Amino acid sequence: MSLAAVLLSMAASAADIIVKVEYNGNSAVVTIPAAASGYVSNLNGESSHVKLLQSSTTTKNPGEIIYQLSGESDNGEFYLTGEYKATLQLNGLTLANPDSTAIHIKDGKRIKVSMTANTVNTLSDGVADSTSKGCFHCKGHTEFVGKGTLNVSSSFNHAIYSKEYVTVKNCTINVTGAKKDGIHCQEYCLISSGEVNISGVEDDGIQVELKDSVATGQTLNHEDENSGNFYMTGGTVAINEIGGYCIKAYGSITMTGGNQNFDTSNIKDHATTAINAIVNSKSGNRQYYDLNGRRMPNDAMLPRGIYIVKEGDRTRKIVVK
């Protein structure tokens, strides 16, 4: 077989694991390719309330599947259950569910949510049910990526809820309203690039909890981390018109880069109330940052305020009075 034929075959194989969901009012067309037909089942036919099942008992897992969502519905939802990593590709989607959450992922593995470049995707919800905790609700690790935009609002709970960690890279997320938090997650939250804009929420802008009572603290590359920490290393976060804290974390809040377009005094973490003394060490291995991520001089020259201290792989917060 020629190289061109091999490349064509590889491209075809990649295309075969894209499950397409196209919304149109009260109906949706779900296209499941042959390679995934024994693994992915459509439980709701042509209904706009799409429910898909990934089953590990019917056939061998064909590999990570991309679920591509597009179109519009003001009476629909996307519900996915299973136990394998998956990618959710939002490709110009406008989805509102008057009865419950708009997107509900009942899969405890890594879920990558990719916004197709230059697309705008909008999610909204309606009356709460007993199982949903947000307009976007994910049981697993949630990684927001891509170069498109996601708009989310919730009339009954959090706008975005993840039972495990949340990371944001490159994409733009606009939370335009929520009954509770704008983004609520467990384990940790990391914003490395992109934009997060949150306004009109009745509780916290971003809240990070521990997943359970056993905390790991910060781990190398955040592998299996359960710290309750919030990290910001780049990008832009803008938060306004909220009812609670801009950022609230059970662990620590560390911002070493990016643009913080919010009231950085309106944050709360588990460590803040426990630190009352000035740290007077002049160790050359320590680096000091203000809450806007700007590098500061050594601690002998620090004015009054709250600062982040980085020493090797460890970070902590100090209060200079």
DSSP string of 293-321, one letter each residue: --EE--GGG--SEEEEEEETTEEEEEEE-
Closest of 193, 178, 117, 102 to residue 149, by C-alpha: 117
Cα–chain center distance at 149: 13
Confidence at 310, pLDDT banded by 50, 70, 90:
confident
Give first-to-last CA distance, the chain, whole Å.
Answer: 73
pLDDT of residue 50 exceeding 80, the answer is yes
| pLDDT tens digits, one per residue of 195-207 | 999 999 999 999 9
pLDDT of residue 313: 60
Distances (CA, A) of 231 to 47, 159, 226: 40, 20, 13
CB contact at 8 A, 256 and 242: no
Confidence at 194, pLDDT banded by 50, 70, 90:
very high
> How long, in residues, is the chain?
321
Name the residue with higher pLDDT: 264 or 92.
92
pLDDT of residue 3 exceeding 90, the answer is no
pLDDT of residue 300: 56
| pLDDT tens digits, one per residue of 93-109 | 999 999 899 999 998 88
Could you tell me the pTM of the whole model? Answer: 0.81
**In 3-state terms, the chain is what percent helix, strand and coil (to 5)?**
10, 50, 45
pLDDT of residue 41 exceeding 80, the answer is yes
| Residue 273 DSSP SS3 | helix
The per-residue pLDDT of the chain, averaged, comes to: 86
pLDDT of residue 289: 77
Angle at 298 between CA 286 and CA 267, to 5 degrees: 75
pLDDT of residue 312 exceeding 80, the answer is no
pLDDT of residue 61: 74
pLDDT of residue 9 exceeding 70, the answer is no
pLDDT of residue 134 exceeding 90, the answer is yes
pLDDT of residue 158 exceeding 50, the answer is yes
Counts of helices then strands in the chain (DSSP H, E): 1, 30
pLDDT of residue 167 exceeding 80, the answer is yes
Confidence at 303, pLDDT banded by 50, 70, 90:
confident
d(CA 113, CA 108): 14
CB contact at 8 A, 245 and 221: no
Scored b (16 or more CB within 10 A) or e, 251-274 reads bbbbbbbbebbbebeebbbbbeee
Distances (CA, A) of 200 to 148, 175, 197, 228, 243: 22, 8, 10, 24, 8
Scored b (16 or more CB within 10 A) or e, 141-159 reads bbbbbbebbbbbbbebbbb
Mean pLDDT throughout 212-218?
88
Q: Above pLDDT 90, what percent of the chain?
A: 67
d(CA 185, CA 166): 6
CB contact at 8 A, 265 and 240: no
pLDDT of residue 33: 93
pLDDT of residue 281: 36
